[in-house]
Amino acid sequence: MEKRLVVFYSFEGNTSFAAKTLAKLIGAEVERVIPLKQPPKNGFGKFFWGGKSVFMHERPVLEPLQREITAFDEIVIGFPIWAGSYPPAISSFLKDYPFRGKKLYVIACSSGGGTKKAIEKLKEKLSANTFCDSLSLIDPAKDKEKNEKLIAEFAEKNFGKAPAVRELPDPESVFENALTRTENDTISFGE
Ligand SMILES: Cc1cc2nc3c(=O)[nH]c(=O)nc-3n(C[C@H](O)[C@H](O)[C@H](O)COP(=O)(O)O)c2cc1C
* DSSP string covering 154-175: HHHHHH-----GGGSPPHHHHT
pLDDT: which is higher, 114 or 28: 28
Report pLDDT digits (tens) over 113-148: 889 999 999 999 999 999 999 999 999 999 999 999
Domain ranges of the chain: 4-177
CB of 109 within 6 A of ligand 1: the answer is yes
Report pLDDT digits (tens) over 32-78: 999 998 877 777 788 888 888 889 898 999 999 999 999 999 999 99
Sign of CA dihedral 137, 139, 145, 146: negative
pTM: 0.87
CATH topology of domain 4-177: Rossmann fold (3.40.50)
Select from 23, 99, 85 the least CA-distant residue to 57: 85
Residue 98 and residue 27 in contact, taking contact as beta carbons nearer than 8 Å: no
Centre of ligand 1 from the C-alpha of residue 87, in Å: 9
pLDDT value at residue 168: 62
